[in-house]
Amino acid sequence: MYHQEEIECMSRASLEALQVDRLRWSVVHAYENVPLYKKRFDEAGIDPYRIESLNDIKRFPFIMKQDMRDAYPFGLFAVDRSRVKRIHASSGTTGQATVVGYTERDLKNWGDCFARGIAMVGGGASSTMQVSYGYGLFTGGLGAHRGGEAAGCMVVPASTGNTKRQIQLMRDFGVDILCATPSYALLIADTAIEMGYDPAKDFNVSGVILGAEPASERMRDEIRRKLGVRYCDVYGLSEIMGPGVAMECDQACGLHVAEDQFFVEIVDPDTLEPVEDGSYGELVITTLTRECSPLIRYRTRDLTRIIDEPCACGRTHRKIDRIVGRTDDMLIIRGVNVFPSQIEQVIMGCDKVAPHYRIMLSTQGGMDKAELLVETAPEFPFDEIRRLEGLRRRLESELKSNLQIAIDVKIVEPKALERSEGKSQRIVDLRETNARRAPHAPAMD
48 vs 182, beta carbon nearer ligand DLL: 182
Minimal distance in Å, beta carbon 143 to ligand DLL? 6
95 vs 414, beta carbon nearer ligand DLL: 95
Q: If binding is defined by CB under 6 A, does position 238 make contact with ligand DLL? A: yes
Q: If binding is defined by CB under 6 A, does position 242 make contact with ligand DLL? A: yes
Q: Is 11 exposed, middle or buried (0-12, 13-18, 19+ CB in 10 A)?
A: exposed
Nearest to 279 by CA among 291, 297, 266: 266
Q: Alpha carbon 392 to chain centroid distance?
A: 31
Q: Cite the DSSP H helix spans in 267-339.
A: none
Q: If binding is defined by CB under 6 A, does position 233 make contact with ligand DLL? A: yes
Binding letters toward ligand DLL, positions 23-62, x by CB under 6 A: ----------------------------------------
Minimal distance in Å, beta carbon 109 to ligand DLL? 16
29 vs 326, beta carbon nearer ligand DLL: 326
Q: Which of residues 208-227 bind ligand DLL (CB under 6 A)?
A: 211-214
Binding letters toward ligand DLL, positions 297-316, x by CB under 6 A: ---x-x--------------
Is-contact 440 282, C-beta < 8 A?
no
190 vs 239, beta carbon nearer ligand DLL: 239
**If binding means CB under 6 A, how many residues of this protein chain bind ligand DLL?**
20
Is-contact 125 151, C-beta < 8 A?
yes
What distance, in Å, lies between the first and last C-alpha atoms of the chain?
36
* CA–CA gap between residue 319 and residue 254 (Å, rounded): 5
114 vs 263, beta carbon nearer ligand DLL: 114
Stretch that binds ligand DLL, among 20-28, 231-239, 336-344, 369-377 (CB under 6 A): 231-239
* CA–CA gap between residue 194 and residue 192 (Å, rounded): 5
* Positions of E strands within 212-279: 230-237, 242-248, 255-257, 262-267
Q: If binding is defined by CB under 6 A, does position 133 make contact with ligand DLL? A: yes
Q: Which of residues 87-106 bind ligand DLL (CB under 6 A)?
A: 90
Minimal distance in Å, beta carbon 327 to ligand DLL? 10
* CA–CA gap between residue 202 and residue 337 (Å, rounded): 46
Q: If binding is defined by CB under 6 A, does position 19 make contact with ligand DLL? A: no
Q: Is 266 helix (H, G, I), strand (E, B) or coil?
A: strand
Minimal distance in Å, beta carbon 46 to ligand DLL? 27
235 vs 263, beta carbon nearer ligand DLL: 235
243 vs 294, beta carbon nearer ligand DLL: 243
Q: Can the peptide bond before residue 182 be classed as cis, meaning omega within 30 degrees of 0?
A: no
Q: If binding is defined by CB under 6 A, does position 139 make contact with ligand DLL? A: yes
Nearest to 280 by CA among 255, 306, 317: 306
239 vs 368, beta carbon nearer ligand DLL: 239
Q: If binding is defined by CB under 6 A, does position 323 make contact with ligand DLL? A: yes
Q: Which of 111, 207, 236, 355 binds ligand DLL (CB under 6 A)?
A: 236
Please give the full DSSP string across 338-390, using - where no structure is assigned: E-HHHHHHHHHT-TTEEEEEEEEEEEETTEEEEEEEEEEPTTS-TT-HHHHHH
Minimal distance in Å, beta carbon 182 to ligand DLL? 8
* CA–CA gap between residue 361 and residue 373 (Å, rounded): 11
Q: If binding is defined by CB under 6 A, does position 231 make contact with ligand DLL? A: no
The pairing of strands 306-307 and 242-248 is unpaired
Binding site for ligand DLL (CB under 6 A): 90, 133, 139-140, 211-214, 233-238, 242-243, 300, 302, 323, 326
